Amino acid sequence: MKLVIAIVQDEDTDALTQALIGGGHRFTKVSTTGSFLRTGNTSLLIGVEDAVVASVLGVLRRTCRRRTQIAVPYSPALEPGLLYMPENFEVEVGGAVVFVADVERFERL
């Protein structure tokens, strides 16, 4: 058994969760915040049999899209130690960060 931990941008969450439900995959959804842009993310914990990992990764690839957005730097007053205030800049966001971990034991109580 594996635990797939997928961290996705909030904009992709609805499409991803609907596709996972449609594929019969169960998951736990946790609201999280990214450290760089400080925007909303969603972390999904998906427990699956080893043979199903490829299917879950396929759903992630189809529903989590990369895109660019303009990032607004934070004020030095909000970030101690920040001496230089750059102009707005474009960054790539979206997609998914995925970890697949072995599960030694699983119980549903």
Does 103 have pLDDT greater than 70?
yes
State the pLDDT at residue 9: 87
Task: State pTM to two decimals.
Answer: 0.75
Does 80 have pLDDT greater than 70?
no
Tokens of 106: 């699983």
State the pLDDT at residue 54: 97
Q: How confident is the model at residue 99 (pLDDT cuts 50, 70, 90)?
A: very high
Q: Which fold has domain 2-67+94-102?
A: Alpha-Beta Plaits (3.30.70)
Most confident of 28-32, 64-68, 85-89: 28-32
Pairwise CA distance, residues 108 & 7, whole Å: 23
Q: Are 7 and 96 in contact (CB under 8 A)?
A: yes
**Whole-Å CA distances, 88 to 6, 10, 71, 85, 95:** 28, 22, 6, 9, 22
**Whole-Å CA distances, 36 to 17, 27, 76:** 24, 26, 15
Longest dimension (CA), the chain: 52
Q: Return the higher-pLDDT residue of 66 and 84.
A: 66
> What percent of the chain clears pLDDT 70, i.e. is strictly above it?
72
Q: Are 3 and 57 in contact (CB under 8 A)?
A: no
Mean pLDDT to the nearest integer, 72-82: 57
Sequence spans of domains, the chain: 2-67+94-102
Residue-wise pLDDT for 37-54, tens only, equals 566 789 999 999 999 999
Tokens of 8: 């996705």
Q: Are 77 and 46 in contact (CB under 8 A)?
A: no
State the pLDDT at residue 63: 94
